[in-house]
Amino acid sequence: MSDDLVTEGVRLVEEAGRAGIAVRLLGGTAIAYRASEEARCAFARPLADLDLVSHRRTARALRDLLERRDLEPERVFNATHGAKRLLYHAPDRSFHIDVFLDRFDMSHSFDLADRIELEPVTLPAADLLLTKLQIAELNRKDASDTLMLLADHEPCDHGGPGSLELPRVTALCGTDWGLYTTITDNLLATQALLPSLVGDDPLRERLRARLEQLRLALEGCPKTARWKLRARVGRRVRWYEVPEEVVR
């Protein structure tokens, strides 16, 4: 199912593009699509869902396209959340499709509207990293996905193939203490899991160095007055949201 889902996701992106609808992959499917053979062998896992992002202004056209493909809408969810998120099921319920519209709202929130069309199939690597590391309760699956992404993408000052746009990450974290805290916590947690997730010594060292590079970049990036004010409150007040459980 994993390779099938990646293929299905790319097919959807291309079909939507021909209809004038900008759709991109995110989540585990996007990371698997971008991964090298080395990274896939090291971190491959079963994929059970397909995550997409598109523009709110073309949501009606996207809904029509998905329903023409016999994908089944979660009607109550879509009626309630359709301004920012849509949920569809495969006809045989073997997988579901989660569509975010312009914004990503989970443990933390950020705007993706200006990022959707920067690359042809997936969101840029920096945004994929942010959507993984913003999870307040990171699990091994999410840590493994983070490592798969970092195995092939070097943090630097620009995006594109093989690159992870570090200024995108520091800009968001430098204005939001809560996001900064969750992401730095998760970088440390992922680093702690390295010995159990990566057996290859050179790959493990490369990943350790990239995780540390990210952590130090966040630690040293400029912080806004709003960030510093929230930092005074610290962990005494919860700094993340608890996402609504979606029944699938």
Residue 1 has a pLDDT of 47
| Closest to 65 measured CA to CA, from 102, 96, 19, 27 | 19
**205-248 pLDDT per residue, tens:** 999 999 999 999 999 999 999 999 999 999 999 999 998 766 55
Please compute the mean of the pLDDT values over residues 115-141 and round it to a whole number: 97
Residue 248 has a pLDDT of 54
Count of beta carbons in the 10 Å neighbourhood of residue 53 = 27
**27-56 pLDDT per residue, tens:** 999 999 999 999 999 998 889 899 999 999
**67-80 pLDDT per residue, tens:** 999 999 999 999 99
| Closest to 16 measured CA to CA, from 97, 82, 93, 84 | 97
Residue 197 has a pLDDT of 95
Surface-to-core class of residue 77, CB atoms within 10 Å of its CB (0-12 exposed, 13-18 middle, 19+ buried): middle
Report the alpha-carbon distance of residue 102 to residue 107 in Å, rounded. 16
Q: Which residues pair with 50 in a beta bridge?
A: 97
Residue 246 has a pLDDT of 65
Report the alpha-carbon distance of residue 15 to residue 18 in Å, rounded. 5
37's tokens: 């053979």
> pLDDT averaged over the chain?
95
Residue 78 in 3-state DSSP? Answer: helix
Non-local CB neighbours of 246 within 8 Å, separated by 6+ positions? 77, 87, 98
Report the alpha-carbon distance of residue 85 to residue 130 in Å, rounded. 18
